Amino acid sequence: MNEITVLLPGGSEPPRCEDRRVIVRFDSDKEPLCQLRVTHGMECRWARVRDVSAAGVGLRISTPIRPDRRVSVEFTERGTYTRRIFRARVIHCTGQGDGTWLVGCRFDTPLPADAVRALAEGQ
């Protein structure tokens, strides 16, 4: 399992952190595919979009990627077949119980509303 447990003095549980995100995040029920490409190197892997906002994206991938890596998130819009590429930085990579990894990325510049919608809806 890829879980880290933090034990605090006195046996108390760690405090619960509330979600402090200011920007609205959209969950993606369809988990559309996109490509995650490491900027410096030849790495490219398929990823499933878990959630997205103008500021960042949560992706599920099959192998871990080191935090602070520069990446691009790439997808093709349905209907127009326009290739969209957005630069980002990996903020965290957390192992999941099913063997996949949840990767949180922060975009270099905020995404326009149409790109957020297209990523969330798999368009």
Q: Which CATH number goes with the domain that contains 105?
A: 2.40.10.220
CA–CA distance, 54 with 112 (Å, rounded to integer):
7
Task: Determine the structural domain holding residue 114 and report its residue range.
Answer: 26-121
* pTM of the shown model: 0.72
List pLDDT tens digits, range 61-81. Answer: 999 999 999 999 998 877 778
Instruction: Classify residue 14: in a domain, yes or no.
Output: no
C-alpha angle 57/60/64, rounded to 5°? 105
List pLDDT tens digits, range 2-50. Answer: 443 334 444 444 444 444 444 555 555 555 678 888 877 778 999 999 9
Instruction: Classify residue 82: in a domain, yes or no.
Output: yes
On the question of pLDDT at 116 being above 50, the answer is yes
Cα 51 to Cα 13, 47, 72, distances in angstroms: 28, 12, 16
